[in-house]
Chains A and B, each alone.
Chain A
Amino acid sequence: MKIEKKSKVKIEIPMSSMPDIVFMLLFFFMVTTVLRTYAGLNVELPEAERIKKLEGRSHISYLWIDRNGDMSWNDVPCGPDKTLYQLAHNKRLSDNQLVVSCKYDRRVNMGIIAEAHEQLRKAGALAINFATRSKSR
């Protein structure tokens, strides 16, 4: 029996479109990247089931309250008084689609949260989102 020899054809991956692919990926990441991130406070978020993903990152401001009751608005220390009102009010004036992501520690008392919400209401920052973790089943 005669065994046929395999033909020695060189297989090459076409590289001419490589820069196009790279550029396409580059533009995607350039558009989706948000470089601004906040350090925040050390909080342990509560867990919940019925949670939604928060869209429109450029409109989100963050309010942290840690277990000691310390408060921070976009990394600026504040209290549940005029300081928070001023920060929220200034942000609300520059962005009318503002959403406040509330990152509160799970052991914080509702008293301080109510005081903070009162300032947010006065400032007109009404859309809020209670940041939670997904419940592990």
Chain B
Amino acid sequence: MVIKRRQKDGAEIPTSSMADIAFLLLIFFLVSTTINTDKGIDMMLPDWGNTLDVPKRNIMNILIDQSGQLMVDGNITQLAFLQETVRKRSEENDKLIVSLKPHKSTEYDDFIAVMDQIKLAGATRVSIADPDK
């Protein structure tokens, strides 16, 4: 019996369509990519059940009522002057903690406006107190 020898053909992967496939994939990823647009004000919440005693002189109390009016350490203040007040107090006391306490009916928009002014003043230690229930 004669055994036939296999032909020694060089097997090659066709690469001519490689660019087309790559283009196709490229267009898919181009279309499906969404550029990260999440932005906002960073904040670190305090650990649950972890309370710290802070001397009263290091706390700046800011209260916001339901209509968005502000009270800073017992004095009614306008939002336009808040940034300057916080900046001045931060310069006087580098351990200052700004405590922000909104009313439970305060709108989030008013809260963010105050928070923005505090951040613009350069205050790094900000705490949010829970509204009275």
Could you tell me which A residues sit within 8 Å of B by CB distance? 18-19, 22-23, 25-26, 29-30, 32-35, 37, 46-55, 57, 60, 101-102, 104-111, 113-114, 117-118, 120-122, 124-132, 134
Cβ contacts under 8 Å, A129 to chain B: 38, 40-43
- Knowing A54-B39, A129-B41, A132-B41, the reply to whether A49 touches B26 (Cβ < 8 A) is no
Residue of B nearest to A121 (CB): B48
Contact between A108 and B38, CB atoms less than 8 A apart: no
Residue from the set B47, B105, B112, B128 with the largest chain A CB neighbour count within 10 Å: B112
Binding site for A on B (CB under 8 A): 18-19, 22-23, 25-26, 29-30, 32-34, 36, 38-48, 64, 102-109, 111-113, 115-116, 119-120, 128, 130-131, 133
CB distance from B21 to the nearest CB of A (A): 10
Given contacts A19-B19, A48-B115, A126-B46, contact A131 B131 (CB under 8 A): no
Partner of B45, one of A46, A47, A120: A120
Known: A109-B108, A121-B48. A33 touches B29 (CB 8 A): yes
Other-chain residue from A53, A126, A128, A132 in contact with B112 (beta carbon distance below 8 A): A132
Name A's interface SS: mixed
A-B contacts besides A29-B26, A49-B116, 4 pairs, CB < 8 Å: A22-B23, A23-B22, A46-B108, A48-B113
Q: What separation, in Å, do the CA atoms of A120 and B116 have in the docked complex?
A: 22
Q: Is the CB of B40 within 8 A of A114?
A: no
Selected contact of B109 from candidates A33, A107, A134, CB within 8 Å: A107
Q: How far is the CA of A26 from the CA of B32 in the complex (A)?
A: 12
Provide the main secondary structure of the chain B interface.
mixed
A34-B34, A126-B47, A132-B41 known; A111+B26 contact, CB < 8 A: no
Q: In the complex the two chains form, is A48's CB within 8 Å of B108's CB?
A: no
Find out whether the CB atom of B38 lies under 8 angstroms from the CB atom of A19.
no
| A128, B112: Cα distance in complex, Å | 14
Return chain B residues, CB-CB under 8 Å to A29: 26, 29-30, 33
Cα A114 to Cα B131 with chains together (Å): 7
Q: Please tell me if the beta carbons of A131 and B102 are within 8 angstroms of each other in the complex.
A: no
Residues of B within 8 A of A22 (CB): 19, 22-23, 26
Partner of A33, one of B33, B44, B46, B119: B33
- State whether B40 touches A118 (Cβ < 8 A): no
The interface centre, meaning the residue of A37, A124, A132 with most chain B CB atoms within 10 A of its CB, is: A132
